[in-house]
Amino acid sequence: MAYAYALGFVGAGNMAEAIARGAIEKGVLEASAMVASDPSAARRELFAGLGVKVVDTNAEVIAQSGQVMLAIKPQVLPELAGELAAHGGDDQVLISIMAGIGTEKLCETIGKPARVIRVMPNTPMMVGLGMAGLAVGEQAKPGDEELAMKLFGSAGEVVRVEEKLMDAVTAVSGSGPAYVYYLAEAMEKAASELGLGEHGRLLVSQTILGAARMLADSPDTAAELRQKVTSPGGTTAAALGHMDDHNLVNVIADAVKAAEARGRELGK
C-alpha cells in the first residue's frame, strides 16, 4: 500500500516534538514526510511551524502513514484501538512509546496482529541528549526497526534490547533523569545551607553536566573516575564515607529495582 507520509504522530506532545525536531535537523526525514494529530490546537500549531502536516483526526494520521508513532498516554489506547484496527494497514509499522504497554498487549487491545516497535525514551530527548531502549515485537519484520533506530538516535542514543528487558530500561534510563534531579535537589539544599546562595544552582548543574560528559567520554568506569577524585583523608573521602555509612549505593540500586518491579506490575 502506498502511503502519503513516512511517519505519522498520534499525539504531538513534548516527546513527539523532540523526535520530529531531531529527525528534521539530522536529515532522517524531511518535515513534509511527516503528519501529526493532537487534541491541542497549540500543539498542532507548533508542529505546523516545524513544517509538519497537521490534521484534525487520528484516523487521518493512521490511514496516511507508513509508520505511526503512538505518542500518547497508555490510558488513551483503548479509545484509539478501534481506529488503529479500522484504518491501519497490514504493512504498517507501529512505533509505541507508551510506558508499560507490551507489544502483545498492544496487539490484543487493537484486536489483530500488528508490526510493533516498542521504545522507551527519556525526557533529555528534548535537548538532544536522550537515551532510549528499543524492542522489536514478534509480528515485526526484519528492517521494521530501522526508522525508529534513526529517529531516536537523532535525539540522543538508542540501544536495542529484548522486550523482557524494557522494564529494566524504564527503571534505569526512563526514570533515571529524576534520580539525577533528586541528587541535584540535595546538593542545592546543601549549597544553600552552606551560604552559597544564588550560586548554588550553577555550581550543581555544571558539576553534574561536566561529570556526565567525562563519564560518557572517558574509557574509565564510574568507579575509576570516582577514585580519581577521591584523595585519602580528603574532603571527597569524607563525603563518600558518610554515604557509605548510610549504605547509599544499595539504597539507590534497590530504588531502581523497585522501579523495574513497578513497571512489570503496570504491564499486567
pLDDT tens-place string over residues 169-226: 999 999 999 999 999 999 999 999 999 999 999 999 999 999 999 999 999 999 999 9
Strand, helix or coil for residue 206: helix
Q: Is 188 exposed, middle or buried (0-12, 13-18, 19+ CB in 10 A)?
A: middle
Please report the pLDDT score of residue 207 as a whole number. Answer: 98
Domain with CATH 3.40.50.720 in the chain: 5-166
Q: What pLDDT score does 256 carry?
A: 97
Q: What 3-state DSSP class applies to 194? A: coil
Q: What gap in Å lies between CA 238 and CA 6, rounded to an integer?
A: 56
pLDDT score for 2: 86
| pLDDT > 80? residue 268 | no
Does the domain at residues 176-267 carry the CATH identifier 1.10.3730.10? yes
| CATH 1.10.3730.10 domain range(s) in the chain | 176-267
pLDDT confidence of residue 266: 81
Task: Give 124's pLDDT tier (boundaries 50, 70, 90).
Answer: very high
Nearest CA among 80, 169, 65 for reference residue 118 = 169
Question: Quick one: DSSP state of residue 76?
Answer: G
Predicted confidence (pLDDT) at residue 267 exceeds the cutoff of 80: no
Give the pLDDT band (50/70/90) at residue 100. confident
pTM, two decimals, is 0.91
The fourth-level CATH superfamily of domain 5-166 is: NAD(P)-binding Rossmann-like Domain (3.40.50.720)
Q: Locate 153 and state its grid cell.
A: 538516535
Q: How confident is the model at residue 264 (pLDDT cuts 50, 70, 90)?
A: confident
Among 134, 116, 138, CA closest to 19:
134
Residues paired with 70 in a beta bridge: 10, 96
> Can you tell me whether residue 140 is helix, strand or coil?
coil
Which band of pLDDT confidence, cut at 50, 70 and 90, is reported for residue 254?
very high
Q: What is the Cα–Cα distance from 268 to 43, expressed in whole angstroms?
A: 32
